[in-house]
């Protein structure tokens, strides 16, 4: 009897594994097809100065327009793309498309020539070894200048690949391409290294901002990050500002920049264009 039960459990376990593997395999295949069929698109979330309330730039955020399932969030496919390596061609498309689009906007709306487009990078892209060549090619092709581009790299990634990251960052600096450390505070940073790396911006993770007024530890962390950025003489951006209370607190703490639903959700191309038209004068 026990043997039978064991056997049954074994069969169930196998079936579950099979389903999961098949789903991942399917998703991987679909991602590959999505790239060919050009089903990815970018939304752009505005980043504002919290002191002057002016627009400073946008963060490009990928979405997948699935023919049956509709718009799919990056949290549902970026992890698989990273696991399978598909993030490399997908990430290349993101860089290409965001630089192309932003260069075009800068031509159409000359008042945004000082604004920057921020693009998220994944670890696999750092490891390809030809990121700099790719960036040079894209900047040349699109006509975007290096100082209009900002790359977002997570803290964990940066610290995992310190030596190669430090070389990469200095090459980016030569091109005036800026670097933000994304999701700052969620990983483990060696502060002494941080002082030596040519990093321009710390982005405070949304998880600390959400309860900055309710959880004392979160307030302490946000304060500490703002203080650290000030000491290092670099910029600081708070993610996930959703309420006036969040904004009030961050302004009181003298956080320079912010992004979040209070100002704007990530916008489609057309919505960015009407925002840029409105801010023309």
Q: Which stretch, 26-34, 103-111, 117-125, 223-231, contacts Mg ion (CB under 5 A)? A: 117-125
Triad 144, 109, 276: Cα angle to 5°: 115
183 contributes a contact to Mg ion by CB under 5 A: yes
Q: Where are the beta strands (DSSP E) in the chain?
A: 40-49, 55-66, 70-72, 116-120, 149-154, 178-184, 201-204, 235-238, 257-258
Long-range contacts made by residues 32-35, C-beta under 8 angstroms, separation at least 24? 32/86, 34/64, 34/66, 35/86, 35/89, 35/90, 35/93
x-marked contacts with Mg ion along 186-225 as a string, rule CB under 5 A = -------------------x--------------------
Q: Are 246 and 209 in contact (CB under 8 A)?
A: yes
Specify the residue, 73 or 164, whose C-beta has the smaller distance to ligand C2E: 73
152 contributes a contact to Mg ion by CB under 5 A: yes
Q: What are phi and psi of 209, to 5 degrees?
A: -75, -40
Specify the residue, 202 or 276, whose C-beta has the smaller distance to Mg ion: 202
Q: Which stretch, 72-80, 182-190, 225-233, 251-259, contacts Mg ion (CB under 5 A)? A: 182-190
92 contributes a contact to Mg ion by CB under 5 A: no
Shortest spacing between CB 68 and Mg ion, in angstroms:
28
Q: What is the DSSP letter of 117?
A: E
Shortest spacing between CB 201 and Mg ion, in angstroms:
11
- Token pair for 11: 């069969």
Specify the residue, 183 or 234, whose C-beta has the smaller distance to ligand C2E: 183
Helix (H, G, I), strand (E, B) or coil at 95: helix
Shortest spacing between CB 82 and ligand C2E, in angstroms:
7
- Token pair for 222: 């946000």
Cα dihedral: 8, 12, 13, 14 (round 10) = 100
DSSP H/E element including 29: helix 2-36
Site for ligand C2E, rule CB under 6 A: 45, 61-62, 73-75, 78, 87, 91, 94, 120, 122, 152, 182-183, 206, 239-242, 259-261, 266
Closest-by-Cβ residue to ligand C2E is 260
97 contributes a contact to Mg ion by CB under 5 A: no
Pick what 98 binds: Mg ion, ligand C2E, none; C-beta below 5 to 8 Å, kind-dependent: none
Specify the residue, 93 or 193, whose C-beta has the smaller distance to ligand C2E: 93
Q: What is the DSSP letter of 86?
A: T
Pick what 238 binds: ligand C2E, Mg ion, none; C-beta below 5 to 8 Å, kind-dependent: none
Shortest spacing between CB 45 and ligand C2E, in angstroms:
6
């Amino acid at each position: 009897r026990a043997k039978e039960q064991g056997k049954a459990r074994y069969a169930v376990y196998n079936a579950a594994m099979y389903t999961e593997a098949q789903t991942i395999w399917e998703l991987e295949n679909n991602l590959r097809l999505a790239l060919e069929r050009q089903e990815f698109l970018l939304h752009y979330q505005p980043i504002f100065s919290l002191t002057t309330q002016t627009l400073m730039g946008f963060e490009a955020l990928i979405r997948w327009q699935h023919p049956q399932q509709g718009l799919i969030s990056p949290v549902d496919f970026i992890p698989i793309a990273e696991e399978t390596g598909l993030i490399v061609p997908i990430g290349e498309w993101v860089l290409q498309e965001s630089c192309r689009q932003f260069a075009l906007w800068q031509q159409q709306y000359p008042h945004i020539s000082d604004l920057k487009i921020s693009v998220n990078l994944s670890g696999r892209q750092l490891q390809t070894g030809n990121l700099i060549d790719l960036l040079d090619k894209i900047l040349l092709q699109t006509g975007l200048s290096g100082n209009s581009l900002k790359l977002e790299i997570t803290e964990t990634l940066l610290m995992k690949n310190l030596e190669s990251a430090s070389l990469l960052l200095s090459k980016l600096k030569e091109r005036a391409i800026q670097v933000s450390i994304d999701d700052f505070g969620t990983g483990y940073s060696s502060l002494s290294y941080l002082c030596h790396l040519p990093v321009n911006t710390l982005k405070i993770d949304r998880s600390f901002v959400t309860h900055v007024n309710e959880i004392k530890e979160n307030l302490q962390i946000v304060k500490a990050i703002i203080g650290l950025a000030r000491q290092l003489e670099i910029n600081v951006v708070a993610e996930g500002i959703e309420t006036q209370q969040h904004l009030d607190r961050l302004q009181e703490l003298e956080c320079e920049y912010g992004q979040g639903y209070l100002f704007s959700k990530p916008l489609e191309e057309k919505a960015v264009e009407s925002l840029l038209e409105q801010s023309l004068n």
